[in-house]
Homo-oligomer: A and B are copies of this chain.
Amino acid sequence: MNLLLFAPDEVGEAGRIAVRDARAAHLLGVLHAAPGDRFQAGLLDGPVGEVEVLGVDAAAGGVSLRFEPRGASLAPWYDLVLALTRPRSLRRIFFQSAAMGVRTIYLVGAEKVEKSYFRMHLLREEEYRPILIDGLMQGKTTRVPRVCLVRRLRELWDLLPDEGVRLIANPADGGGAALADAPGAPIIAIGPDGGWTEAENAAFAAHGFAPISLGPRPLRTDTAAIALPAVVGDRLSRQ
């Protein structure tokens, strides 16, 4: 937990916050918070800054704090289109994508995606939101990623923003795709473990997605969902 995060409606008069949950346990048990201590903190979808510890009630597991905003959070910088994957893998991808700065995660159906996946508990906002927030606390940012369920691939295209270079992971291809210095957040598409079908690949191509390779070794979806944004971010910041 590199950044403590609070909901804006937890903040009372003069920036005061009282917590008695996992964050309080972390403050007391891991950070050994004492009055006067300061920690990096932020408000969900709001500024980053610091909290000062005003008081601790170790017996009751409560901590009272004062939040002081300092500036804007780093903004999310990419969108992820992900063929819906199994819960264990998806849980990891939610956390790690939020930490890496994803803006929107489009979870799409595909020929090789089990239809039943769309019924998993993890797709309920109350299930995935805490995982996304854990990821933000890791990556020290505040903007909660948006999750968008798209059961049929053909429903995806109208949902995507107009701006941003579009890239699709392709283990086979050469990967020479130069990244156009386009405005907007790049949109990165990652297929199911068995890959997209030819028709699906053609649909991505028709909608402007250029193939990008991570080398000759096939990666599991949850590995590619880290490796590809890392490579794209690195290429963009070096252009």
Q: What are the interface flags for A223-239 relative to B under an 8 Å C-beta threshold, 1 for contact and 0 otherwise?
A: 10011101101110100
**Neighbouring B residues of A71 by C-beta, 8 Å:** none
Q: Which of A14-22, A56-64, A96-104 contacts B (4 or more CB under 8 A)?
A: A96-104
Query: How far, in Å, is A220 (CB) from chain B's closest CB?
Result: 6
Known: A226-B227, A230-B231, A234-B234. A99 touches B138 (CB 8 A): no
Question: How far is it, in angstroms, between the C-alpha of A233 and the C-alpha of B215 when the chains are bound?
Answer: 8
**Contact of A205 with B by CB under 8 A:** no
Nearest B-chain residue to A233, judged by Cβ: B215
Nearest B-chain residue to A220, judged by Cβ: B138
Nearest B-chain residue to A215, judged by Cβ: B233
**Contact of A74 with B by CB under 8 A:** yes
**Neighbouring B residues of A138 by C-beta, 8 Å:** 217-220
Question: How far is it, in angstroms, between the C-alpha of A231 and the C-alpha of B231 when the chains are bound?
Answer: 5
Nearest B-chain residue to A136, judged by Cβ: B217
Query: How far, in Å, is A45 (CB) from chain B's closest CB?
Result: 17
Known: A138-B219, A217-B140. A234 touches B235 (CB 8 A): yes
Nearest B-chain residue to A74, judged by Cβ: B216
Contact status B233-A230, CB under 8 Å = no
Number of copies of this kind of chain in the complex: 2
Question: How far is it, in angstroms, between the C-alpha of A74 and the C-alpha of B216 when the chains are bound?
Answer: 9
Query: How far, in Å, is A239 (CB) from chain B's closest CB?
Result: 12
**Neighbouring B residues of A237 by C-beta, 8 Å:** 175, 215
What is the size, in residues, of chain A's interface with B at 8 Å between Cβ atoms? 28
Supply 14 A–B pairs (Cβ within 8 Å), ascending by A: A96-B220, A99-B217, A99-B220, A100-B217, A101-B217, A138-B218, A139-B217, A139-B218, A140-B216, A214-B233, A215-B233, A227-B227, A231-B234, A234-B235
**Contact of A141 with B by CB under 8 A:** yes
Q: Considering the complex, which residues of chain A in the window 28-56 have a beta carbon less than 8 Å from any beta carbon of chain B?
A: none
Taking a contact as CB atoms closer than 8 A, the residue among B74, B175, B230, B234 that contacts A226 in the complex is B230
Taking a contact as CB atoms closer than 8 A, the residue among B2, B227, B235 that contacts A218 in the complex is B2
Contact status A99-B230, CB under 8 Å = no
**Neighbouring B residues of A175 by C-beta, 8 Å:** 237
Query: How far, in Å, is A194 (CB) from chain B's closest CB?
Result: 10
Known: A2-B218, A101-B217. A96 touches B223 (CB 8 A): yes
